[in-house]
């Protein structure tokens, strides 16, 4: 046997670790475009960017299940973890830096998070999140702002057929208020896990009355404004007001009430929501009100926010037919004399063109125009024409 056959393929040996991947120029350019658009929409609502550190203390990484942390020991023996969630990172940051701040904090981010995934699933362990956190204000107007900003952000990014399902943790707790606290927590945990049948079965076993069970069934079946209007349970009036305000901020039929919606993360306390497309089997974004999370970090302030899963948004955009806006073409400048080529490239860039000197191996799917250097003021086009720098620039506008 040839011993060379036993050597690992170099491409495999030097690949990134499981669950991490290289993002090549075409995808990276598209993701940067999405980032710019989302950041502009966030800024239009008054949200200011921040960037928490990549590492958090392992004992303060948040509510994410410890089994999903990518954690290790620092050199001083402290357990640290790659940031698993940006909401908890922002809550920690607010508690440390803005504990005594007055007025609203409007904060935004676009950054990667890291979560452990089972090897057999082949899932990514690093992906970008984009989102906002509104710290301080309470009530329907603040919740409506978060809802409207999410819907407008997705629409401006190019996604136009999404719906935003909206529920309310407080309403669900009131619906099952007849149960003892431990039993109610068990029922709500079943809803968070997506097992609605198991949740109702657990409520029956715990002794919930027939009347309360019937009310719960009506609440869980509510879809659309008409169903919501017909309900008479604590918290519904406030939710109706929130949804009406959100539609005033960003119009359209994008809101779908879904009172059975309970996110898997347990820190939400009020309105909760997730953005979906009918043809995809997963949410693109999720968020809600979390009035107790900052108190756990040492700053008892209410907050509401959301996070967009950027790779899922990218995929949804492509499946909906979106393509990036036509960028400026890449001008590939064939070299003449070194001095003339340097001056010609500088003049081309000076009139706003993107210029690479010599043959290129990667274009990131940009349109390419090739010209040859004549002198520092002129280029020769593929069709044989000799044009001045200004004349050539006008042909590309």
Helices and strands counted in the chain (H then E)? 14, 16
pLDDT digits (tens, 9 = 90+) for 36-62: 999 999 999 999 999 999 999 887 655
Determine the pLDDT at residue 13: 66
Determine the pLDDT at residue 166: 97
In the structure, what pLDDT confidence band is assigned to residue 225 with cuts at 50, 70 and 90?
Answer: confident
Spatial distance between the Cα atoms of 51 and 321, rounded to a whole number of angstroms: 32
- Give 300's contacts (C-beta < 8 A, 6+ positions apart): 294
Contact 207, 105 (CB under 8 A): no
DSSP state, 13? Answer: H
Answer whether residue 244 shows pLDDT above 90. yes
More reliable by pLDDT, 92 or 281: 92
Pairing of strands 368-375, 378-380: antiparallel
Contact 73, 79 (CB under 8 A): yes
Helices 140-157, 236-249: axis angle to 10 degrees equals 40
Answer whether residue 231 shows pLDDT above 60. yes
Determine the pLDDT at residue 281: 82
- Whether the model clears a pTM of 0.75, i.e. scores above it, the answer is yes
In the structure, what pLDDT confidence band is assigned to residue 288 with cuts at 50, 70 and 90?
Answer: very high
Mean per-residue pLDDT, 96-100 = 91
Mean per-residue pLDDT, 307-324 = 93
Mean per-residue pLDDT, 209-227 = 92
Asked whether the CA dihedral 292, 295, 296, 302 is positive or negative, the reply is positive
Q: Which helix (H) or strand (E) holds 275?
A: strand 271-276
Spatial distance between the Cα atoms of 280 and 351, rounded to a whole number of angstroms: 44
Spatial distance between the Cα atoms of 230 and 137, rounded to a whole number of angstroms: 29
Cα dihedral 76, 78, 79, 84 in deg (nearest 10): -100
Answer whether residue 4 shows pLDDT above 60. no
Q: Closest by alpha carbon to 276, among 151, 124, 189, 145?
A: 151
- Report the range of poorest mean pLDDT among 55-59, 120-124, 162-166, 329-333: 120-124
Q: Which of 3-12, 63-72, 263-272 has the highest mean pLDDT?
A: 263-272
Q: For residue 68, give the 3-state DSSP assignment.
A: helix
Task: Provide the mean pLDDT of the chain.
Answer: 92
More reliable by pLDDT, 7 or 384: 384
pLDDT digits (tens, 9 = 90+) for 326-350: 778 999 999 999 999 999 999 999 9
Q: Closest by alpha carbon to 334, among 377, 367, 366, 382?
A: 382
Structure-block tokens of residue 124 = 């990514």
Determine the pLDDT at residue 1: 47
Answer whether residue 249 shows pLDDT above 50. yes
Determine the pLDDT at residue 323: 84
Determine the pLDDT at residue 120: 60
Answer whether residue 7 shows pLDDT above 90. no
Spatial distance between the Cα atoms of 114 and 85, rounded to a whole number of angstroms: 8
Determine the pLDDT at residue 247: 97
């Amino acid at each position: 046997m040839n011993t060379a056959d036993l050597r690992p393929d170099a491409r495999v040996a030097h690949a990134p670790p499981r669950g991490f991947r290289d993002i090549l120029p075409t995808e990276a350019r598209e993701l940067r475009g999405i980032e710019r658009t989302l950041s502009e929409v966030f800024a239009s609502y008054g949200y200011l960017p921040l960037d928490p550190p990549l590492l958090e203390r392992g004992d303060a990484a948040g509510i994410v299940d410890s089994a999903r942390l990518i954690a290790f020991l620092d050199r001083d023996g402290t357990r640290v973890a790659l940031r698993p969630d940006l909401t908890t990172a922002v809550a920690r940051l607010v508690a440390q830096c803005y504990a005594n701040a007055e007025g609203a904090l409007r904060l935004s981010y676009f950054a990667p998070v890291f979560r452990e995934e089972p090897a057999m699933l082949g899932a990514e362990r690093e992906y970008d999140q984009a989102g906002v956190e509104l710290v301080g204000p309470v009530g329907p107007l603040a919740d409506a702002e978060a809802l409207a900003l999410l819907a407008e952000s997705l629409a401006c990014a190019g996604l136009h057929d999404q719906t935003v399902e909206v529920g309310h943790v407080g309403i669900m707790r009131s619906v099952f208020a007849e149960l003892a606290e431990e039993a109610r927590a068990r029922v709500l945990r079943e809803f968070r896990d997506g097992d609605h049948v198991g949740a109702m079965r657990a409520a029956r076993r715990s002794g919930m009355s027939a009347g309360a069970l019937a009310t719960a069934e009506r609440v869980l079946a509510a879809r659309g404004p008409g169903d919501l209007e017909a309900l008479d349970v604590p918290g519904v009036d406030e939710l109706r007001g929130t949804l009406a305000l959100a539609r005033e901020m960003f119009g359209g039929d994008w809101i779908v009430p879904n009172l059975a919606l309970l996110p898997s993360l347990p820190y939400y306390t009020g309105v909760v929501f997730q953005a979906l497309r009918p043809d995809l089997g997963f949410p693109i974004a999720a968020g809600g009100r979390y009035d107790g999370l900052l108190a756990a970090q040492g700053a008892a302030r209410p907050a509401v926010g959301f996070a967009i899963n950027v790779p899922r948004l990218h995929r949804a955009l492509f499946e909906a037919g979106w393509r990036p806006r036509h960028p400026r073409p890449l001008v590939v400048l064939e070299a003449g004399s070194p001095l003339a080529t340097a001056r010609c490239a500088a003049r081309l860039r000076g009139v706003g063109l993107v210029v690479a000197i010599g043959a290129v191996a990667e274009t990131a799917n940009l349109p390419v125009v090739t010209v040859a250097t004549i002198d520092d003021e002129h280029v020769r086009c593929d069709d044989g024409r000799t044009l001045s720098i200004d004349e050539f620039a006008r042909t590309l506008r």
